[in-house]
Structure 1
Amino acid sequence: MSVKLSILFVLACLLNFPAFAQEKTKKELKAEQELKKQKEIEALIDSKNFVFEAQKATPQGGRLLNLDYNTYFLKFNETNTTCDLPFFGRAYNVAYGGDGGIKFEGIPENTRIEKSKKKIIVRSTVKGKNDVYDLLLTVFFNGDASLSVTSNNRAPISYDGVVEAPKTDDVKK
């Protein structure tokens, strides 16, 4: 009886073995999702049409500040770049009673994209109405990003946030 039971057990194991081999492990599934996200981020940056949403600000010589609401952004496009970010720090030559933030709209110039194994770096210069802004955007393959803004009239400031595809309303405009 035990011989028949052991043979039946071995047969059952052999018949079920191929089914287990076809299932993917959690590690493989996670690696596939990461690769998919990486391809999406690369395609987004290569299209030169994306939105950076700021979540934290770090002024020069200051501490990290969490930004309320997700209303601070940099909409990057080859033909027009729009920025609305808060500014904390020293301003050198700014009109009294101005809006206080980094707000500009202009055509990006000298845009360079550098890719490495873990991140993509986008460098660009945008001439606003009253200032020239040098942008350094570091995008990691999980969608997290860091933006450094340097201008002639203000101290440098950095922002942490995420990079996303523009909303459909933004694409139509």
Structure 2
Amino acid sequence: MKNKPFLIVCTLFFLCVQMNMAQEKSKKEIKAEKELQKQKEIETLVQSKTFEFDANFVQPLGRRDLNIQGEQYVVEYKPAEIKSYLPYFGRGYNVGYGGDTGLKFTGKPENFTIEKKKKYYLIKTTVKGENDVFNLSLSVYFQGSATLTVTSNQRDAISYTGTIEVLKTKE
């Protein structure tokens, strides 16, 4: 009889611990499901070759990072053309006086490749602008963040970090 209350308390304690552990496991499962869902969304976007890269930060060669968040600096990827509306901070080699317009170009993507790595997709392409050839290397991580590196014949290389999203229609 004296052991009965002790057994009841021990049983209740054991049940509480088990419920707590089961709840923790479900939180981990929910997080894993969300990550998997985001990864599938990113995979669908990348495979469609129709998305937009929204730049948040720019890393010019030999300079400190600059926050460009809130501005409308994007690169629109489509199978037929790529449009870039990015700022450029760096050294240009054959740019006319007062003619620097940033990295604003439209062109047909050539040599478009998508390679799936362990934790990201690597998308490479070449675009011929009016006066320059741009090599774009976009690393898209499974959670949606991305890094774009642009090299060209007439400018220093520059990198941007941001996100990829569904292509927004312009009105």
Q: Same fold (TM over 0.5)?
A: yes
User: For residues 154 and 165 of structure 1, what CA distance do their matches in structure 2 show?
Assistant: 29
Q: 1:133 matched to which residue of 2?
A: 134
Instruction: Report sequence identity in percent.
Output: 48
Residue type of the alignment partner of 1:112: T
User: For residues 113 and 87 of structure 2, what CA distance do their matches in structure 1 show?
Assistant: 25
Q: After the TM superposition, which residues 51-90 of structure 1 pair with which residues of structure 2 at under 5 Å, given as runs?
A: 51-90=52-91
Contact 2:55 2:69 in 1 (8 A): no
User: For residues 161 and 101 of structure 1, what CA distance do their matches in structure 2 show?
Assistant: 18
User: For residues 48 and 78 of structure 1, what CA distance do their matches in structure 2 show?
Assistant: 6
Q: What does the per-residue CA deviation read over 1:63-83, in whole Å, with 9 as the maximum and x for residues that have no partner?
A: 111114230000011101100
Question: What's the CA shift for 1:43?
Answer: 0.7
Q: What does the per-residue CA deviation read over 1:99-123, in whole Å, with 9 as the maximum and x for residues that have no partner?
A: 4310000000001111012100000
Q: 1:166 matched to which residue of 2?
A: 167
Q: 1:49 matched to which residue of 2?
A: 50
Q: What does the per-residue CA deviation read over 1:18-58, in whole Å, with 9 as the maximum and x for residues that have no partner?
A: x9999784100000000000000011000000100000000
The answer to whether 1:155 aligns with 2:170 is no
Contact 1:59 1:157 in 2 (8 A): yes
Residue type of the alignment partner of 2:102: G
Task: List gaps (5 residues or longer) in structure 2.
Answer: 10-18
User: For residues 39 and 74 of structure 1, what CA distance do their matches in structure 2 show?
Assistant: 22
TM-align CA RMSD = 2.6
Question: What's the CA shift for 1:139?
Answer: 0.4
Task: List gaps (5 residues or longer) in structure 1.
Answer: 10-18
User: For residues 5 and 87 of structure 2, what CA distance do their matches in structure 1 show?
Assistant: 74
